[in-house]
Amino acid sequence: MSACFGPASSSPGLVSVVIPCFRQAHFLADGIESVLRQTYRRFEVLVINDGSPDDTARVASRYPVRYVEQPHAGLAAARNAGLQRALGEFVVFLDADDRLLPDALRINVSRLRADSALAFVAGASRYIARDGTPLYTNPPHIASGDLYEVLLRRNRIRMPAMVMFRRAIFERVGDFDTRLDACADYDLYLRVSRLCAAALHDELVAEYRRHEGNMSLNSARMLRQFSIVMRRQRKRVNGDAGLIAAVDEGLRNMQEYYGDQIADGIRARVRARKELHSAIADAGRLLVLYPRGLFVHVWRKASRQSRYRRSS
């Protein structure tokens, strides 16, 4: 892996915190305030209103932020709009419904300062409920080995705010892929870690809010986009048996996780005899993206019917 950066600057680096917002004005104040409470004071906040029909502009106007408005173009495009305007040496992408913990910027800046070879660092996060109260979160697991291979096997970065990038890396790898809105962050971690050093650590830096609007709840969309990401990586690692195995394991993990969620949704709709057109559409998606998941669903149903007939 080649060196990606020159010697680090000795001056305290400015951190650009980019907050894209679409239909999340009710969470936005909480997100902005989590940045304003940072113990590391060299930061700027950019709020990108991605054509949101709510009162995002009014909320943002109450705070010392740089406010940008654009027609709705999606999460990845909103992040790119913030990145293009960012002035900082370091960049953090904070979704409007999430929060940074008070020491987040200090912790990640210090780690990037300590090792000038790192393109990004990612700390740990914990779950919070819609109202901001803590939820149980499994302790962080920091896998050892080459980070690119680790991330191929499983995405260990559950939310973008865990990550602080060195701004210069985007000049080498480009920005977020707008065709992969739901998985553009994962795609970027892989593109960066394949070329440059990056690191995970176990210090808490962010809070991930779980609520009914989370993009990750759209299992079919997540599985479709994860599949695209992994197919791209499969082409890039051709000839390396270890990395090919990592890609295959990562794809299998995502197929099982999201495919099982889709199958559960199909079963629920069939049992309730509701939204059968959606169940049929999801069955078609499973057939293309995760055939085993569809067959497991059919097998479970057939097994239950067989047990019912035997007990009758």
Which residues 6+ apart lie within 8 Å of 220 measured at CB? 258, 262, 282, 285, 289
Residue 2 lies in a domain: no
Check whether residue 242 and residue 175 sit in a common domain: no
pTM of whole model > 0.75? Answer: yes
Check whether residue 189 and residue 279 sit in a common domain: no
Give the separation between CA 263 and CA 219, rounded to whole angstroms: 10
Kindly report the number of other CB atoms within 10 A of residue 59's CB atom: 22
Total domains in the fold of the chain: 2
Task: Give me the pLDDT at residue 302, please.
Answer: 46
Task: Using alpha carbons, list the distances in angstroms from residue 89 to 11, 15, 52, 74, 79.
Answer: 10, 6, 29, 25, 16
Which of 193, 217, 241 is the C-terminal boundary of a domain?
217
Which of 217, 245, 261 is the C-terminal boundary of a domain?
217
For the chain, what is the largest distance between any 2 Cα atoms, rounded to a whole number of angstroms?
78
Which of 217, 252, 283 is the C-terminal boundary of a domain?
217
Check whether residue 171 and residue 224 sit in a common domain: no
Token pair belonging to 236: 């890039």
Q: What is the pLDDT along the chain (312 residues), one digit of tens a residue?
A: 656 876 666 567 999 999 999 999 999 999 999 999 999 999 999 999 999 999 999 999 999 999 999 999 999 999 999 999 999 999 999 999 999 999 999 999 999 999 999 999 999 999 999 999 999 999 888 888 999 999 999 999 999 999 999 999 999 999 999 999 999 999 999 999 999 999 999 999 999 999 988 888 788 889 999 999 999 999 999 889 999 999 999 999 998 888 888 888 887 888 888 888 888 888 888 788 777 766 665 555 545 545 545 554
Check whether residue 188 and residue 228 sit in a common domain: no
DSSP 8-state symbol, 217: G
Check whether residue 179 and residue 243 sit in a common domain: no
Domain that holds residue 97: 15-217
Check whether residue 96 and residue 212 sit in a common domain: yes
Amino acid type, 115 = D
Check whether residue 76 and residue 208 sit in a common domain: yes
Task: Let me know: does 68 contact 82? Beta carbons within 8 Å.
Answer: yes
Identify the helix (H) or strand (E) that includes residue 162: none
Give the separation between CA 192 and CA 169, rounded to whole angstroms: 8
Which single residue is written with the structure tokens 């971690």?
A: 189
Check whether residue 213 and residue 224 sit in a common domain: no
Check whether residue 186 and residue 227 sit in a common domain: no
